[in-house]
Amino acid sequence: MDDGFREEIDARFHRTVAAALARAARRPPEGFGFALPAAVREGIVGAARRTGGLPEQLVEYYLERMPRMLVEQMFGADDPAARLLWRPAGTQPRLDAALFGLERVLGAEAGPLLSTPTVAALVAARPTPAALHARGLFGGSAPLLGAFPAQRDLVNAELDGGADPDAVLDRRLSGNVVHELCHGRPAPMPWMILESVAVALGARARMEHMFPDEPGEAVPGVSLFVCVGDALARRFGEAKLWRILAGAPAAEVFGDGPARVLETAGWQAWLGHRSAPFVRDALDAFAWIKLAEKARAGLDPDCPDLLGAAERTPWTALPWYAEPPSDEDAAILATGVRALFQVNVLAPTFQTHPAELPGRRFVVDVEACTMTAPPRPEGVYGEPARWIAPPPICRILRGRGALRVVVENATRGRHRAIAAALLDLAAGDGPLAEEPVVS
């Protein structure tokens, strides 16, 4: 049965590509390959197995809309923004910083991920955004994020206003190009896990591509995936997590039991809404973190609502809470404080912009192990801004009497100082008020 599904999936995908190419103004360059990633194909097969046929939502998204948009973007569109995709790289500091950041984070493993010995060799062989995207996981099946039609309208307006093409390309596209490379070539596993690992790697390569300093430079709406990826790295080991990008199966990275739990939870979540993956899935970030923690401690995968059960579990019942704080916990706290200072907006397309906090304040809920800011009226997704507060740090604060920590006069330019002040508060001794204020 599965082989029949695979044949139908491949046939429908290539029919879409052939029909789109027949209408395209240009032919793909020699060697350009159209192909559905194995992880996506097997995901559709798994969905078909569970529903008795190819789900129309996934067919429409992965086998029709995305490949059709890829052909239109790369070989049909002829606006100035589309032509930028084929422009050889000039002075692009954001792109350079992120690509060499991958090399810094991954070391010798960067070569296998990028299929070249060094980043310099990659850029020499693939000097355009289009060529770099073609090397990414979705380069043969879906368009480059940041260059959809409405996004190209923004770029065209900037170019019409006299903006430097290299500067526009670097700000609008670099984060998206590198994000696609960060996916690597993974084995099938829950999309939430794959996206969280890729986004966490991208954040380590260049933090501003997830938490922007300027409007337009960030991959939009992905910060909570960083939260999940950071927590997985803390609990299972960062080096082991990056092996997912090279195709390591979930059982090799997480262990047999946790891998079964995560896979089951992924299918339970998908069967609940039966739509193509989207950034809204990250709203379950805290539940996924708790689920991974429960799975490490041993958990029956036959629970009918794994994510719901995990979300209802108090942190005090999970192993991470009882551990001593680590440098990784301090890093998660610092990233979380920074993550609060951004907002997802329609301006006019979906974007993530830097933003100050309403009222210049946020709260650390010591019992819930969360940091939460007041909601922003202009926010269209992910409001109110929130992040995990590392459980070992919260345990120490709770043991000294604190229930909530209120951070006042909090501005974006002081995010590092705020994180340091919270760590100093946790490192102190003696009793605390139930609601101490850090100002």
Contacts of 29 (CB under 8 A, 6+ apart): none
Ramachandran class of 31: left when φ > 0, alpha when ψ lies in -120 to 50, beta otherwise: left
Query: Which pLDDT tens digit goes with each residue over 40-53?
Result: 999 999 999 999 99
Does residue 68 surpass a pLDDT of 80? yes
Are 4 and 54 contacting, i.e. CB atoms less than 8 angstroms apart? no
pLDDT of residue 322: 97
Q: How far apart are CA 198 and CA 104, in angstroms?
A: 15
The alpha carbon of 249 is separated from its chain's Cα centroid by a whole number of angstroms, namely: 19
pLDDT exceeds cutoff 80 at 1: no
Q: Which of 92, 239, 85 is nearest to 152 (CA)?
A: 85
Q: What is the mean pLDDT of residues 333-358?
A: 96
- Best CA proximity match to 436, nearest among 409, 411, 402: 402
Q: How many CA atoms within 13 Å lie on the side-chain side of 44?
A: 26
pLDDT higher than 80, residue 294: yes
Residue matched to tokens 């060529």: 131
Longest dimension (CA), the chain: 73
| Phi, psi torsion values for 404, nearest 5 degrees | -140, 145
Higher pLDDT, 120 or 267: 267
State both tokens at 434.
């139930």
Pairing of strands 437-438, 404-407: parallel
Q: List, in order, residues 6 or more apart from 129 with CB less than 8 Å away.
A: 84, 85, 86, 87, 144, 147, 169, 173, 177
State residue 30's pLDDT score: 87
CA dihedral 149, 150, 154, 156 (to 10 degrees): 30
Q: Buried (b) or exposed (e) across 312-321, using 16+ Cβ within 10 A?
A: eeebeebebb
Q: For the chain, what are the domain ranges?
A: 1-76, 314-439
Res 109: pLDDT: 85
Question: Between 397 and 127, whose confidence is greater?
Answer: 397
Rg (CA), the chain: 22
Tokens at 52, concatenated? 């008795």
Kindly give the pairing relationship between strand 350-354 and strand 386-388.
unpaired
pLDDT at site 31 = 85
pLDDT of residue 134: 95
User: Given this model, what pLDDT does residue 300 score?
Assistant: 79
Q: In angstroms, how far is CA 116 from the centroid of its own chain?
A: 24
Asked if the model's pLDDT at residue 81 lies above 80, the reply is yes
pLDDT at 116 over 90: no
- pLDDT value, residue 373: 97
Question: Among residues 312, 297, 303, 243, which one has the least CA distance to residue 267?
Answer: 303
Give me the mean pLDDT over the 72-79 stretch. Answer: 97
d(CA 34, CA 75): 13
- pTM of the predicted structure, to 2 decimals: 0.95
| In the block, residue with structure tokens 């939009």 | 220
pLDDT mean across residues, the chain: 95
Q: Look up residue 346 and give its two tokens.
A: 């329609």
Let me know: does 262 contact 189? Beta carbons within 8 Å. yes
